[in-house]
Amino acid sequence: MYLLAIDWWLILEKVILIACIVGLSFFIAMYTTYAERKVAAWLQDRIGPNRAGPFGIFQPLADGGKLFFKEEIIPLASNKFLFILGPGLAMITALLTSSVIPWAAPFVKGDGGVIPMQVADVDMGILLVFSIVSVGVYGIMIGGWASNNKFSLMAAIRGASQMVSYELPMGLALIAVLFMTGSLKMSEIVANQVQHGWHIIYQPLGFIIFFVCALAECNRTPFDLPEAENELNFGYHQEYSSMKLGFYLFAEYINMFISSAVMTTLYFGGYDIPFVNEASWGLAPWLMTLISFSVFMAKVAFFLFVFLWIRWTIPRFRYDQLMNLGWKKLIPLALVNMIITAAVLLWLKK
């Protein structure tokens, strides 16, 4: 009975943590849309949303309400099952990638037990993220094909080939980080940076490659070819309406949020507070966990701002330029970075 009680407490802790992460992801995605409009207005010397509440802060709620109450239309010529499955798959894969990210320092209970601020600290943590992200392309492909619209299908093919092309240099850039940590566990990657310094110091080129690939994986400017309005109308989700369209739009912002969290974990020390020794503060465990979570979210917010800044600064690439950058520039650079990292580590071990 005692062991059974422990298992039930563990399940309860995980359920609460999962609910908090899902709620946080939706909240961040919702207000990233607001931040995008405000950042665009600031860069273009405009006001931005200012009608729905003070400073337009309720604008995301108004947008969500509009999508929720709009008429839901399913084209007669579409494959109805796949048409519904597409946005659901995009949303599910976007949320699943958050399961292995350590969001804060572990919480130490009064009895000495530890509650990790991570849903699953699996041995193949970062590999699990990549595998889920690779499945996410099916949400785009299924949605574009099931619509039975030639422009949607063309956009879906663009999205699939783009993601496949940029997953390769992203994975190669990651290998250099794994050489330094010797582990695929996200918690150990953070612990290695706490002890030896952030990976951005040792892997600046790898980080730049990873960041550019993250832009392409999220279909963000200048890599938003699957949603090129001037070429393909509205892209792969142009036949969607109501909350099915909302799922696709929300999935993009959740992917931005999770990509920022992954980059923070891999290259910027995760929840580590720079230049200080947190153990010397002598703070209560719950307060230390809260502070580390706030530091983690501040780093994520910085990356989200950069995502938004780039959208309103850099024009969209042509499709041939996008492919040339991925195959002819980023992959060779990632290979060179990986070889140099391996050589330096071997030399230091001698």
- What pLDDT is attached to residue 2? 47
- What pLDDT is attached to residue 6? 59
Does 227 score more than 70 pLDDT?
Answer: yes
List the structure tokens of 64: 């969500």
Question: What number of residues does the chain have?
Answer: 350
Instruction: Give me the domain span that covers residue 131.
Output: 70-349
**How many domains are contained in the chain?**
1
**Cα distances (angstroms) measured from residue 76 to each of 79, 80, 120:** 8, 8, 42
Instruction: Give every CB contact of residue 308 below 8 A, 6+ residues apart in sequence.
Output: 32, 35, 36, 39, 40
8 A C-beta contact, residue 210 and residue 267: yes
Please report whether residue 235 resides in a domain: yes
- What pLDDT is attached to residue 279? 66
Please report whether residue 28 resides in a domain: no
**How far is the C-alpha of 45 from the C-alpha of 149, rounded, in Å?**
38
Residues 92, 68, 154, 167, CA torsion sign: negative
pLDDT above 90 as % of the chain: 34
Please report whether residue 36 resides in a domain: no
Collapsing DSSP states into helix, strand and coil, what is residue 70?
coil
Query: What digits encode the pLDDT tens for the residues 65-100?
Result: 888 888 888 888 888 888 889 898 989 998 998 889
- What pLDDT is attached to residue 121? 85
Please report whether residue 13 resides in a domain: no
- What pLDDT is attached to residue 230? 65
Does 113 score more than 80 pLDDT?
Answer: no
For residue 222, whether the previous peptide bond is cis, meaning omega lies within 30 degrees of 0, is: yes
Please name which of 262, 251, 265 lies closest in space to residue 93, comparing C-alpha atoms: 251
**How far is the C-alpha of 264 from the C-alpha of 198, rounded, in Å?**
10
Average pLDDT, stretch 220-246? 79
Does 153 score more than 90 pLDDT?
Answer: no
Please report whether residue 47 resides in a domain: no
At residue 1 the predicted structure's pLDDT band, cuts being 50, 70 and 90, is: very low
What type of residue is 343?
A
- What pLDDT is attached to residue 202? 92
List the structure tokens of 298: 């501040």
**Higher local confidence (pLDDT), 7 or 292:** 292
At residue 220 the predicted structure's pLDDT band, cuts being 50, 70 and 90, is: confident
Please report whether residue 335 resides in a domain: yes
Exposed e or buried b per residue across 25-63, where buried means at least 16 C-beta atoms within 10 angstroms of its C-beta: bbebbbbbbbbbbbbebeeeeeebbeeeeeebeebbeeb
- Average pLDDT over the chain, rounded to whole? 87
Query: What digits encode the pLDDT tens for the residues 53-71?
Result: 888 899 999 988 888 888 8
Please report whether residue 295 resides in a domain: yes
Query: What digits encode the pLDDT tens for the residues 304-319?
Result: 999 999 988 888 888 8
- What pLDDT is attached to residue 295? 93
**How far is the C-alpha of 302 from the C-alpha of 269, rounded, in Å?**
14
Residue listed under structure tokens 């912002």: 253
**Cα distances (angstroms) measured from residue 98 to each of 163, 214, 266:** 19, 15, 14
pLDDT above 70 as % of the chain: 95
Q: pTM of this prediction? A: 0.91
Does 4 score more than 70 pLDDT?
Answer: no
Please report whether residue 333 resides in a domain: yes
Query: What digits encode the pLDDT tens for the residues 8-49?
Result: 777 888 889 999 999 999 999 999 999 999 998 988 888 888
